[in-house]
Amino acid sequence: MSGERLDPPLYYERHIFVCTNERPAGHPRGCCEAGAATKLRNYMKARAKELGIPSARVNNAGCLDRCELGPTLVVYPEGVWYGYRTTEDMDEILTVHIAGGGRVERLMLKPGDDDRAKAALAEARAAAKAAAAAG
Ligand code: FES
């Protein structure tokens, strides 16, 4: 074995997977669709075309298992995750990361974010339960 990689060249320079999973209201993990993920994914796809970024593919994705931080998306091949809320966030990801090769640090999901979000949700649920029990 030579150790040489046989992978073909990338088909897309960047592949963006946008979670558009929907769960019933009140689900303990929430879902990205509650944050208008489909609308924002459609915006991002159209905006990428408007900006002339032909080498990026913006796909719908099922649950990416980072629901508590949603809505979320991930950019490959870098494997950089973002949490976004607005069309302005999508514009910034497209112009800074996808077109410019930089990173939108304020939106990047980092190690430990998932545990902190889950702990905050558990705390909020416990507080709501205690408030309901107190009458
Ligand atoms: S619902 Fe979007 S990551 Fe799970």
Model confidence pLDDT, tens digit, residues 78-131: 999 999 999 999 999 999 999 999 999 999 999 899 999 889 888 888 898 899
Rounded distance from Cα 6 to ligand 1 centre (Å)? 33
- What percentage of the chain has pLDDT greater than the value 90? 79
Q: Which atom of ligand 1 is nearest to the CA of 30?
A: 1
pLDDT tens-digit profile of 4-20?
A: 889 999 999 999 999 99
- pLDDT, residue 2, reads 60
* Nearest CA residue ID for atom 1, ligand 1: 31
Give the integer Cα–Cα distance in Å for 112 and 125.
20
The reported pTM is 0.89
Residues 6+ apart with CB under 8 A from 112: none
For ligand 1, is residue 64 a contact (CB within 6 Å)? Answer: yes
CB atoms under 10 Å from CB of 25, counted, come to 8
Q: Where residue 1 falls among pLDDT bands split at 50, 70, 90?
A: low
- Region of 50 (left: φ > 0; alpha: ψ -120 to 50; beta: rest) is alpha
**What is the helix (H) or strand (E) element at residue 135, kind and residue range?**
none
For ligand 1, is residue 20 a contact (CB within 6 Å)? Answer: no
> Residue ranges per domain, the chain?
14-134
Give the integer Cα–Cα distance in Å for 77 and 15.
7
Half-sphere exposure of 60 (CA within 13 A, CB side): 10
* Omega before 77 within 30 of 0, i.e. cis: yes
In the CATH hierarchy, which fold is given to the domain comprising 14-134? Glutaredoxin (3.40.30)
Q: Which atom of ligand 1 is nearest to the CA of 23?
A: 1
Rounded distance from Cα 33 to ligand 1 centre (Å)? 8
